[in-house]
């Protein structure tokens, strides 16, 4: 039986462990050719090791698939360009880019250092923008040459970014930026035959164990297993998803949802007297929907 992604060339960043590893294995099982990128660093982004990426490649090859390992640091433009170039050298083109690489340096805002802020923004946000930039340039060239492009970018946002979470101003800001990046890139790249979507996954990985999920019940651990994230990503990577773009999918083993973005809410006519704004804002707040909690639903007072 032909796989859902048969012959499609897919890049997955941060693919040596956790969610990225599950993406890679499922895509390969569905017939994709993989470039497995992982710097091999620690959870906070320190160090580097070729082992994690190569181990995933070895699993794919042992199962009869095609894959190559890449250990570039995709948070820099040079590493991002090299990643796309390796995929083209190995398989002739790129069809799918899955931006999954990430680190954590959680800290309350009052205690956060500049280095902790910069590192997280660089890996998540710049590490999404760089590979996407060079993949988009590849697809634009192919489109201008008359090639029928069926490209995909699948980004990784987070409930922390679209709903908010204490202690993660750096991580949440990066993930919110990725959600906005997704919407705008979808507008820009449609002309080349490329869709851009994102997921906001909730899963138990080494990055979330420190958030209390490591002490979860066995039932919760199963619901939060990273294997639940790969099916929607695999479908989005396929040709079947060509009509879907600019969307963020909230996904765990508990639910698959569309995360609805900012919309203009209750509205009044503005005035030029600031002393009148108290009652006006009170009226707006009374009519407005509350912000969501980390579950994605309205916060309960």
CB-CB contact of 200 with 158 (8 Å): yes
Which position has the token pair 């909230």?
Answer: 250
Q: Is the pLDDT of residue 214 over 70?
A: no
Please indicate whether residue 192 is annotated as part of the active site. Answer: no
Whether residue 1 lies inside any domain: the answer is no
Whether 59 is covered by a domain: the verdict is yes
- Whether residue 180 is found in the same domain as residue 91: yes
pLDDT tens for 153-185 read 999 999 999 999 999 999 999 999 999 999 999
Q: Residue 27 is encoded by which pair of tokens?
A: 């895509």
**298 lies in some domain:** yes
Residues 293 and 190 in one domain: no
Model confidence pLDDT, tens digit, residues 243-296: 999 999 999 999 999 999 999 999 999 999 999 999 999 999 999 999 999 889
Do 167 and 252 share a structural domain?
A: yes
Sequence-ordered list of residues with C-beta below 8 angstroms from that of 16, at least 6 positions apart, any chain: 36, 38, 40, 51, 52, 53, 55, 56
Same domain, 180 and 291: no
Q: Flag whether 40 is in a domain.
A: yes
Six-digit token string for 113: 């250092």
Range of the domain at 301: 265-301
Position with higher pLDDT, 205 vs 145? 145
For the chain, give the mean pLDDT.
Answer: 92
User: What's the CA gap between 146 and 149, in Å, rounded?
Assistant: 9
Confirm whether 3 is domain-assigned: no
d(CA 19, CA 38): 12
- CATH code of the domain in which 121 resides: 3.40.50.720
CB 70 within 8 A of CB 35: yes
> For residue 213, is pLDDT > 60?
no
Do 203 and 223 have their domain in common? yes
Residues 185, 167 share a domain: yes
Instruction: Please state, in angstroms and rounded to a whole number, the distance separating the CA atoms of residues 146 and 194.
Output: 14
* 61-98 CB burial, b ≥16 within 10 A, e <16: eeeebbbbbbbbbbbeeebbbbbbebbeeebeebbbbb
What mean pLDDT do residues 113-141 have? 98
Same domain, 229 and 292: no
Specify if 224 maps to a domain.
yes
Question: Are 155 and 286 found together in one domain?
Answer: no
The answer on 145 and 29 residing in a single domain is yes
Asked whether residue 4 is domain-assigned, the answer is: no
Count of domains observed in the chain: 2
On whether both 196 and 280 belong to a single domain, the answer is no
Mean pLDDT, residues 201-219 taken together: 65
Residue 208 banded pLDDT, cuts 50, 70, 90: low
Terminal-residue alpha carbon distance, the chain: 52
106 and 250, same domain (yes or no): yes
The answer to whether position 2 is within a domain reads no
How many other CB atoms sit within 10 Å of the CB of residue 213?
16
Q: pLDDT of 74-103, one tens digit each? A: 999 999 999 999 999 999 999 999 999 999
Alpha carbons within 13 angstroms on the beta-carbon side of residue 223 total 9
Could you give the CA distance from residue 189 to residue 195 in angstroms, rounded to a whole number? 7
Same domain, 80 and 151: yes
Q: How far is CA 239 from the centre of its chain?
A: 19
Res 1 pLDDT > 80: no
Instruction: Give me the phi and psi of 250, to 5 degrees please.
Output: -85, 120
Under the banding of pLDDT at 50, 70 and 90, the label for residue 104 is: very high
Among residues 163, 171, 277, 297, the one annotated as catalytic is 171
CA distance to 53, 90, 101, 220, per residue, from 295 (Å): 32, 41, 23, 14
């Amino acid at each position: 039986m032909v796989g859902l992604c048969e012959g499609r060339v897919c890049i997955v960043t941060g693919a040596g462990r956790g969610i990225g590893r599950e993406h890679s294995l499922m895509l390969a099982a569905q017939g994709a050719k993989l470039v497995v990128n992982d710097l091999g660093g620690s959870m906070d982004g320190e160090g580097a090791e070729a082992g994690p990426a190569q181990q995933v490649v070895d699993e794919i090859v042992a199962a009869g698939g095609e894959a190559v390992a890449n250990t570039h640091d995709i948070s820099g433009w040079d590493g991002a360009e090299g990643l796309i170039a390796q995929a083209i050298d190995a398989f002739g083109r790129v069809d799918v880019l899955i931006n999954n690489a990430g680190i954590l340096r959680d800290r309350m805002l009052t205690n956060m250092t500049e280095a902790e802020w910069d590192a997280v923004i660089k890996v998540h946000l710049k590490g999404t923008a760089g590979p996407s930039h060079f993949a988009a340039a590849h697809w634009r060239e192919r489109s201008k040459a008359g090639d029928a492009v069926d490209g995909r970018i699948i980004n990784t946002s987070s409930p922390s970014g679209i709903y908010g979470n204490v202690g993660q101003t750096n991580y949440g800001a990066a993930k919110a930026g990725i959600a906005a990046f997704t919407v705008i890139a979808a507008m820009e790249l449609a002309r080349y035959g490329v869709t851009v979507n994102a997921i906001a996954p909730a899963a138990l990985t080494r990055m979330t164990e420190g958030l209390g999920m490591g002490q979860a019940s066995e039932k919760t651990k199963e619901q939060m297993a990273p294997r639940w994230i790969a099916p929607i990503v695999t479908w989005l990577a396929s040709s079947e998803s060509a009509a879907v773009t600019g969307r963020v999918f909230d996904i765990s083993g508990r639910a698959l949802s569309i995360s609805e973005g900012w919309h203009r809410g209750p509205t009044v006519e503005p005035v030029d007297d600031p002393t009148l704004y108290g009652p006006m804002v009170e009226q707006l707040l009374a009519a407005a929907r509350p912000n969501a909690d980390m579950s994605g639903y309205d916060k309960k007072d």
